[in-house]
Each structure stands twice: as structure tokens, then as C-alpha cells.
A and B are shown apart, each in its own frame.
Chain A
Amino acid sequence: MSVTDVWMIAGGGLMLIGLTGFLFARHLLRRLLAFNITGSGALLMVLALSGDDRGLAPALLVLTGMLVALGATALGLFLLRLWQQQSGHTDLPPPPDPDLDR
């Protein structure tokens, strides 16, 4: 098993853990954290896939991914706080029924 394989398995495992949390957690903070774990796994996989000496492109891809994750987490936390203050809930209500007018 090569070093790349180890990183791939680690990244894939992290993604699986994160996705499980993303799909099953109800609390919004948990879902946001789960997203961050999934994101870390994805970035790890991209780095492992692109190998050592392949130029600037993969590094830029990963750097963008990190910045996006940071921005999205900040935005998510801000929205989550607002939502909690306005509605008193820490999870989302079930999606509205497309057929019914409320």
C-alpha cells in the first residue's frame, strides 16, 4: 500500500463520516461541523490524487476549497444564530409541502 493509498483511504473515510453526519444530524451546528469534516476529507483526497510535483493548479484548487469552507462556515454560523434567535429552533422544519398553500 503506497502513501497515496493511505491518504486516499483517510480522505475517503473522513468524507464518509462527514456525509453520515450531514444526512442524519438534525441540529444545524452538527450539520455545519459534519460539512467541515466532509470538506477536509475531500481536500485530502484531491491532494492525494494530484501527487507531489504537479504544478500550481491542485494547490490552488485546495486553497480555494479551504477559503470557501471558511467563508461558508462563517456565513452558516451567522445564519444559524439569526434563525435560532428568530424561531427559537436549532434545526430546520420539515420542507414545505409543494402542493399546499400556507
Chain B
Amino acid sequence: MMVTGLIALPLLAALLSLLPRQHPLWAWMQALLLVALNLLTLMLWHQVGAQGDALIEVLLGATTRWQLQADGAAMTLALLTCWVGTATLVHTGLAHGGLRRSPGAPDAFWPLAWLLLAVLNLVWLGADLLTLYIGVEVLGLVAVAMMTLSGKPEALAAALRYLFATLLGSMAYLVGAGLLFAEYGTLSLPALAEVASANAATGTGFALMLAGLALKAAVFPLHGWLPAAHANALLPVSVLHSALVVKASVFVMMRHWLTLAPPFADSALPLLMASLGTVAILWGSVLALRQTRLKLLVAWSTVAQTGYLLLAFPLLLADDPLLRQLAYQGLIYQMLAHGLAKAALFMVAGHLITATGSDRISQLTGTGRHLPLTLLTLGLAGISLMGMPPSAGFAAKWLMASSALGSGAILWMVVLIAGGLLSAAYILKLLREAFREGPERDVFEHPPRLQKMSAFLLSLLTLLLGLSTLPVLSLLIGGAA
């Protein structure tokens, strides 16, 4: 029952955030709510670790039951949501006008951000097509609304494009869910897992849902809306979106995949997913490398990193249960690692833009000497994105690679290594510019210390989760059995 608190608490916080921000107690209230969310999430995460996976039933009326799936995957993603959410809200500045030198965010940001956290937790916990449909829908609309907060015309155009993409995706999902219900008479994922078989109706419904979610997740070749949207939104919105919202659609894809893909293991579907993932990694990385603007580089890197998640999908269908489990652990760990690293990287991009007054990568010259903590954060997050040890990103890729090698998928390793080298290339491009000594300038605007610390702590987490993987991985045993 406590699990519903993960949804109820942020919802309550969203309502409370509507109170006038000028009030002296407003910042304290936000801090209190964040502490409560952190405590609740950690407690539930611990509880699931101790008791194992659980289907939780919430009674709605006399006969209707609403099932929630509070397994290790859901709790790990809830933890990521809590960490990234906390860092982002602190980064944005809890006190009204508290962070004088940063542009901050309009009042509407706060209730929308909390609403986003509530809906994200709903998506992680959802165990049936209806809950997941409501989740991804509301998530899409809230995300569109948040993208417009920067007020720039480019952001409006990007938000409209994203709105159309997310609507088209949800329509496909709805028809797919209808087809599955017509075939099996149930919308519950655990029930579908038992009865699903490889027939035309299931295949069509499954394909429609996957395509709809792929559009929302900016999976290659449906990624067109993402770079402009991320580059033009307010910084905290880009952080929440790239670290969490994009991941929610992939997470829902994974839930459906584990339920419905096994009957189609021999079809071309796994190969298709692997190919899309491969092209996404290569295309996204090459374009990230070619960008001259900081935020666009980070945005294209999201397209590439989503490819790694897709690459794990075929491995979830391996014959050997051990290999399936390795792939599952790797996939969830990659979501966690990329969420933390990408949030830190976007914050760093914001700090460097504040420092240099420009979005140009060529203007970074000299920042290395003047903003050591920011560049350390960039380095730590970058190591995780490249997948170098010791980092959470390395652990995730190691797990996936072990699963791939076990299945004899040598080509998979080639893609993994090529992707790692390409990510190293675009991260090192940033570092090279930052540490290049140039005569041009010696004076930089410093972002507030609270902002630097928020980003640094997130990148530190990618390091710690690389040094100690067991606490999270032990929750993910038996997930893809």
C-alpha cells in the first residue's frame, strides 16, 4: 500500500507548489517534500530488496482491483526519478530569487515538475495496459507544456512538433491495446504473459504499441523531434526530459517486450530492434560529434544512448535464463547510469553556457582552469557515458556484453566498442576545448555553488554505482525469467 505514496506524495507536492512562491515558508515546504520523497523512495526500495518482487493490489470499489508492479526494475527507476528530481529542483533554486545569477524558472515550472515525477512513478509501477496508457499520455502532455516554459519561439515550434509526435504515438498505442484486449480479454501484463501466443492480431497490436512508444522515446529513425526540443527548452526541463521522460517510453517498451515478445523470438523482430539500436548509436554519436553547440551535442548523445537500450532487447529473449537475466540487469543499469550521467551533463552544459555566455563549444577555451568542479563533473559523467571503468555505465555495458558473448553475438560487441569510442570522441572534444589554453579571456561568470554541487553529486553517483553494483543488481534477479 505504501507504494502508492510514490505517486500520491509528488501529486500532493504539485498541488502545494501552486501556493504563492513569495511566501517565506515556500522554499522550506519544497525542501521538506523533497526529503520526504527521498526517504519514502529509499525505504520502499529497501523493502522490495528484502521481500522480493511484488504485485500490489489496490482496491477500487468492491470488486475492481488495480494492480501495481513494485518489482526491482520499478524501484530502481523510482530511485533514479527521486535522485534526478531532487537534484533538478535544488538546481533550479528552491528559494524565490534565491539563485540570483541564474535565470531560474517561471512559477509554472514547480507544479509541472512535481506532476511529472508523480506520473513517472505511475509508469514505473504500472502493471496493465490501461495504467501505462494513462501514464505515457499524461507524461507526454506535461512534457510538452514544460517545453514551452522557456518562452522562445523555437521552443514553441519544437513543442508543437513534439506534441504531434507524442499524439501520433499514443494513437498507435491505443489501437494496439484494443487489438490485444479483443484477442485475450485482459489488459493486465502478467495475465497477458501467460496467454500470449504468436498470431496475427497479437503481432499487429504488439507492433503498433512498439512503434507508438518508439516515436515517444525518439528511437531512431523516429528521433527527429528530440534535438531541437532539448536544445531550446529551459535547462531543468531538458534535464528532466532527457534523463527521465525519454526513458519512460523505453521502460514501457521493455515491459511489453518481456510480456509479448517471447512468442515472436524467431521472427525478424529482435533483429529489427538490434539494427535500429545499432544505427541509433552510430548516427547519434556521429551527429553529436559534428555539433558546434553545447546543448545540441548533449541532445544528440541522448539519441545515441537510447540505442544501447534497444540493443539489449534481443538479448532479453536468449534461451539461457542466465543470459536473459544478465541482459535485463544490464538494461536497467544502463537506464540508471545514463539517467544520472545525462542529467549531470546537461547541468554542466548549462553551467558552461552561464560561464562563457555562449552556447558555442569553441568558446569553452580557458574554462578548465577556472571551473574545476564543473569540469570534474563533466569528466565523471563522461566516463560513464563512454562506458569506461569504474562507472555505472561500464557496469551496464559489461553486463550486456557478457550476455551477448554468451549468445555468441560477436557483431554486438563490435557495435558496443564502436559506440564507446564515438562517445569518447564527443566527450573528449568538450574536454579538449575546455582545457585548451587561449589568450582570449580570463573572466568567467560562475554559476551558484548549489548548482555546481547538484550536478557533481549526480556524477559522483555514477562513479559510486560503478564501484558498488550489488545493491541495485540484487534487486533485479529473476526479473526476466
A residues with CB within 8 A of B: 15, 22, 28, 31, 35, 38-39, 42-43, 45-46, 49-51, 54, 56-58, 60-61, 64-65, 68, 71-72, 75-76, 79-80, 82-83, 86-87, 92-93, 95-96, 98-99, 101
A38, B175: Cα distance in complex, Å: 11
Q: Can you name the residue of chain A whose Cβ is closest to the Cβ of B288?
A: A98
- What are 17 sample pairs from A and B whose C-beta atoms fall under 8 A apart? A31-B164, A35-B167, A46-B177, A46-B181, A49-B181, A49-B182, A57-B186, A58-B178, A61-B133, A64-B130, A64-B133, A64-B134, A82-B156, A87-B153, A96-B228, A98-B227, A101-B296
Question: Quick check: A38 and B287 within 8 Å, CB to CB?
Answer: no
CB within 8 Å: A-B pair count = 107
Which residues of A have CB within 8 Å of B185?
Answer: 54
Q: Can you name the residue of chain B whose Cβ is closest to the Cβ of A83?
A: B156
Which residues of A have CB within 8 Å of B456?
Answer: none
Question: Quick check: B157 and A92 within 8 Å, CB to CB?
Answer: yes
A59, B83: Cα distance in complex, Å: 37
Query: Size range of the interface on B?
Result: 35 or more
Question: Quick check: A101 and B292 within 8 Å, CB to CB?
Answer: yes
Having A58-B178, A72-B163, A87-B153, one finds 9 other A-B pairs with CB under 8 Å, namely A22-B168, A49-B181, A54-B181, A57-B130, A64-B134, A68-B137, A80-B160, A96-B227, A101-B360
A82, B158: Cα distance in complex, Å: 13
Question: Quick check: B130 and A76 within 8 Å, CB to CB?
Answer: no
**With known contacts A61-B130, A61-B178, A42–B171 Cβ distance under 8 A:** yes
**Shortest Cβ gap from A49 to chain B (Å):** 4
A19, B223: Cα distance in complex, Å: 20
Which residues of B have CB within 8 Å of A79?
Answer: 144, 148, 156, 159-160, 163
Question: Quick check: A46 and B178 within 8 Å, CB to CB?
Answer: yes
Question: Quick check: A49 and B178 within 8 Å, CB to CB?
Answer: yes
Q: Which of B140-167 touch A at CB < 8 Å?
A: 141, 144-145, 148, 153, 156-157, 159-161, 163-164, 167
Question: Quick check: A42 and B187 within 8 Å, CB to CB?
Answer: no
Query: Is B170 interfacial (CB-CB < 8 Å)?
Result: yes
Question: Quick check: A61 and B174 within 8 Å, CB to CB?
Answer: yes
Closest 7 CB pairs of A and B: A46-B178, A49-B182, A101-B292, A68-B137, A86-B153, A83-B156, A49-B178
Which residues of B have CB within 8 Å of A61?
Answer: 129-130, 133, 174, 177-178, 181, 187
| Contacting residue for A45 out of B141, B163, B178, CB 8 A | B178
- Considering residues A75, A87, A99, which has the most beta carbons from chain B within 10 angstroms of its beta carbon? A75
Which residues of B have CB within 8 Å of A101?
Answer: 291-293, 296, 360
**With known contacts A61-B133, A86-B153, A42–B175 Cβ distance under 8 A:** yes
Query: Is B179 interfacial (CB-CB < 8 Å)?
Result: yes
A86, B153: Cα distance in complex, Å: 6
- Considering residues B145, B167, B228, B300, which has the most beta carbons from chain A within 10 angstroms of its beta carbon? B167
Question: Quick check: A99 and B290 within 8 Å, CB to CB?
Answer: yes
**Shortest Cβ gap from A73 to chain B (Å):** 9
Query: Is B64 interfacial (CB-CB < 8 Å)?
Result: yes
Query: Is B224 interfacial (CB-CB < 8 Å)?
Result: yes
A87, B64: Cα distance in complex, Å: 50
Which residues of B have CB within 8 Å of A39?
Answer: 167, 171
Question: Quick check: A50 and B178 within 8 Å, CB to CB?
Answer: yes
A10, B141: Cα distance in complex, Å: 28
A76, B145: Cα distance in complex, Å: 10
Q: Can you name the residue of chain A whose Cβ is closest to the Cβ of B133?
A: A64
Which residues of A have CB within 8 Å of B137?
Answer: 64, 68
**With known contacts A96-B228, A99-B290, A60–B153 Cβ distance under 8 A:** no
